Amino acid sequence: MGEELPPRVRQQLMRVQQTRDSLQYINALLLQVKQQLAESKNAQEQMKGLTAKSVIYQASGPLLFKTTKTKATTNLKEQIEALELRVKSLEKQEAQLRKQYDTLQETLRGMLGQPGAAPAG
């Protein structure tokens, strides 16, 4: 019980933990970007019901600016496209990290399952 883990096992454990932390971060970021995307799509849907003469205000930082329906629609479309690209990128990162995490975890299990897993060398 008081045995210390061999350096190779400790290093592998650290890699597993770091990868897990990165995976959790990417998942949280992905959730946030998907929420922004849903909000933007909802705003785009709401815009469809407005006339060209409707008064529209668009946020820019802490300020609101009066804009036209055409400009607001264009801005929303660009924002949605950018968010969709971000989602795809994050999903790809998440898949790569998940695969890396699974591989690292399997390697760690193998190291712990071997009797006398001492560092080679």
* Domain count across the chain: 1
> pTM for the whole thing?
0.80
User: Residue 1 falls within a domain, yes or no?
Assistant: no
Is 96 part of a structural domain of the chain? Answer: yes
Q: Give the domain extent around 99.
A: 7-113
Is the residue at 119 inside a domain?
Answer: no
- Output the pLDDT for position 2: 55
pLDDT tens readout for residues 65-120 = 999 999 999 999 999 999 999 999 999 999 999 999 999 999 999 988 854 444 44
Model pLDDT for residues 52-75, shown as the tens digit of each residue = 899 999 998 999 999 999 999 999
DSSP string, the chain: --PPPPHHHHHHHHHHHHHHHHHHHHHHHHHHHHHHHHHHHHHHHHHTTS-TT--EEEEETTEEEEE-HHHHHHHHHHHHHHHHHHHHHHHHHHHHHHHHHHHHHHHHHHHHHSTT-PPP-
Q: Residue 47 pLDDT more than 50?
A: yes
Please report, for the domain that includes residue 33, its CATH number.
Answer: 1.10.287.370
Domain assignment present for residue 47? The answer is yes
